[in-house]
Structure 1
């Protein structure tokens, strides 16, 4: 979940895509490719590879939050059908970090601090949160069959030239959904259209870049690919095992986050209330149904869920229901900027990093719903239908 969520600076490729002009592909038939035909060709290309090596540049530009970041990196992927967890093993490097999954265990090397974190039993959600897979070649390989089959997705195709290469640009428009990093889909809690422009080189049918935008603001995410090497040779065998790095890196263990169990009492806490000299203690809210939304300022999904939470506040305005944001680590200045731009109709407490960890929150936004006795009814993503149903039941 989500937390994919970052923002970048416009790259040269993005400007080229705009300035070169896009000319719609006209006509029908084999000589005039459609979006689905080109997507099929891209899928056949990617699915036919036993391994894949490439460089990437992920650019995150959340102008609505004044957040910009660029993440260049490199990846080696080796597709292993026998791996039923994610279907491939990998070695990825960016920001002086190296991420390795050998099909059994995963580990992360901090090349600056010379430390190593080991996960001997990784679960699917662990991989779904890896930044390097955001709108990546893995995303396309896993998502394309579903994208082709889904007739509710708006699709179009155009011609363009990028870096003197003839390319197609496939435009996809999804209603209230985004494509997950490992190819699934996540529902959005707000009425928002999300568009993807996938640029594909005509000669090779290899992706050049993926641009993601929405119809609510100027935020965008751009992943550009280069130096793509199909069926690349594997790194050395020893490089796949954490024991090979034990003499250079100190093994550290990061405490695993454990979400609260349903029907158990939520731990009490007291945190300062944003915009007020007062503090809020959870125990003071007993007798009311409490929805806690854990959020951070630089989180696109946290922004997109605000209108839905505002609607929830309005719907239960005359009931014993409290909607309260819990900001994990932003400054009061950052929270003030978020409130001015996005206008939540509910209050927030802050300095909530310790509470987030105690509640097992590993992504943002995360929802924890409590009954009138302070017991956990739900913890997870914002699912409006489910949450409203639980609230109504708890009020009875």
Structure 2
């Protein structure tokens, strides 16, 4: 009897393993099939709809664009000729040499000749897009480090295949294929494919850290293979010169440097009781770390615990850490104030001060000595280097 039960158990385990392997094979084969289908396409059009729900960091966004892509024309930067017409009145066009934008609201134009790959990687309509899937589905199919499974679903009466993908410490990227992370977590994708055409309908991205606090849902509506192409002249910025004028670039001031003195400033500060303002003169005789940040900035979000650790480490007698939000309104800043319960001071309306200091990327950290002069500036948050500058100067005698 015991031997019989053991045999049943072994058989059950074998069947479970076999079922799991078949599920993986089905997912891999379907990814290969979809990749092959996408790589056959010469041109495609669709409506790109993306919704971001980031409850953890109080960031929500919806974008929509009519997209036309010509895959036959591409370059070494992995950029395909495209025309994107966004719902907010912005048109983005790349013809293989020129990338230009047309702003329908103010009738302005910006032109970049021979743009770098970084330009395209920052475009919203390229995030989890058809070009990304076209480039990566074949790789995902054979990448053993990516966990895969398949199931079926019905959406509005139509049959779809769902492939679940788990990527460890990495995510899909438009230019690089994968972008990697030093933080240990999984990016989770739910890729929904049309069961008949095997073309993508939707991709849902979540992650193991934020779980139900974060999702990005990208949907490809009315996807058409080899549609009617835009007019030939529509691909060149010179066609639009009679309607649009070149946008004048704002001259940004050079970044403040070591030994320069900060201009006078006075900004509102959040606290639990009432709003007050602070100025540079409130911190005479102290080492001051000024962290400039904005809401929609991943590294800014990651730095919050380290900021708190710095203030706790050095106290407030001879040291003060200030975070200065540069763009977001008071309500948004209050969200982070309530969430973080900071040991440091959180200021807002810092945009003008950031401009005066030549700061246009975030986070940027400026360390000020006891005389109000710049000790060092960091483009990005380097905790160890910042800590070293503080420790070196905090107890130094004049």
TM-score, reference length from structure 1: 0.75
Deviation per CA, 1:208-234, whole angstroms, max 9, x where unpaired?
A: 101122342433221111222234443
Instruction: Give the SS at the match of 2:305.
Output: helix
Instruction: Give the SS at the match of 2:313.
Output: coil
1:332 aligns with 2:325: no
Contact 2:308–2:342 (CA under 8 A) maintained in structure 1: no
Q: Corresponding residue for 2:15?
A: none
Contact 1:64–1:341 (CA under 8 A) maintained in structure 2: no
Deviation per CA, 1:314-359, whole angstroms, max 9, x where unpaired?
A: 2673348765422122222331123223545543221122344456
Q: Corresponding residue for 1:318?
A: 313
1:57 aligns with 2:49: yes
Q: Matched residues in 1 for 2:308 and 2:168: separation?
A: 24
Q: Matched residues in 1 for 2:103 and 2:234: separation?
A: 15
Q: Corresponding residue for 2:13?
A: none
Instruction: Give the SS at the match of 1:85.
Output: coil
Is the alpha carbon distance of 1:346 and 1:259 closer, same or farther for their aligned partners in structure 2, counting shifts above 3 Å? farther
Q: Corresponding residue for 2:68?
A: 76
Deviation larger for 275-284 or 238-247? 275-284
Q: Matched residues in 2 for 1:286 and 1:37: separation?
A: 67
Q: Matched residues in 2 for 1:345 and 1:243: separation?
A: 55
Q: Matched residues in 2 for 1:188 and 1:121: separation?
A: 29
Q: Corresponding residue for 2:12?
A: none
Contact 1:271–1:352 (CA under 8 A) maintained in structure 2: no
TM-score, reference length from structure 2: 0.74
Q: Higher relative CO (CA 8 A, sep ≥ 6), structure 1 or 2? A: 1
Deviation larger for 228-237 or 238-247? 228-237
Q: Matched residues in 2 for 1:195 and 1:353: separation?
A: 36
Deviation per CA, 1:15-43, whole angstroms, max 9, x where unpaired?
A: xxxxxxxxxx94545x9744333333332
* Equivalent residue for 1:40, pick from 25, 32, 46: 32
Return the offset for 1:60: 2.5
Contact 1:195–1:213 (CA under 8 A) maintained in structure 2: yes
Is the alpha carbon distance of 1:103 and 1:282 closer, same or farther for their aligned partners in structure 2, counting shifts above 3 Å? farther
Q: Corresponding residue for 2:205?
A: 212
Residues matched between the structures, number: 361
Q: Matched residues in 2 for 1:222 and 1:265: separation?
A: 46
Q: Corresponding residue for 1:388?
A: 383
Structure 1 segment 65-104 matched on structure 2, within 5 A: 68-79=60-71, 83-95=75-87, 96-104=89-97
Return the offset for 1:72: 2.5
Q: Corresponding residue for 1:113?
A: 106
Structure 1 segment 231-246 matched on structure 2, within 5 A: 231-246=226-241
Return the offset for 1:54: 1.4
Q: Matched residues in 1 for 2:322 and 2:133: separation?
A: 37
Structure 1 segment 240-389 matched on structure 2, within 5 A: 240-255=235-250, 260=255, 268=263, 270-275=265-270, 277-281=276-280, 288=287, 290=289, 292-296=291-295, 299=296, 301=298, 304-305=301-302, 308-311=303-306, 313-314=308-309, 317-319=312-314, 323-357=321-355, 365-368=362-365, 370=367, 374=374, 376=376, 378-380=378-380, 387-389=382-384
Q: Matched residues in 1 for 2:243 and 2:344: separation?
A: 49
The unaligned stretches of length 5 or more in structure 2 are 1-17, 393-398
Contact 2:54–2:214 (CA under 8 A) maintained in structure 1: yes
Q: Corresponding residue for 1:13?
A: none
1:224 aligns with 2:222: no
Q: Matched residues in 2 for 1:260 and 1:166: separation?
A: 56
Return the offset for 1:112: 3.2
Contact 1:138–1:182 (CA under 8 A) maintained in structure 2: no
Is the alpha carbon distance of 1:290 and 1:220 closer, same or farther for their aligned partners in structure 2, counting shifts above 3 Å? same
The unaligned stretches of length 5 or more in structure 1 are 1-24
Q: Matched residues in 2 for 1:257 and 1:194: separation?
A: 37
Deviation larger for 336-345 or 54-63? 336-345
Is the alpha carbon distance of 1:390 and 1:65 closer, same or farther for their aligned partners in structure 2, counting shifts above 3 Å? closer
More helix by share: 2
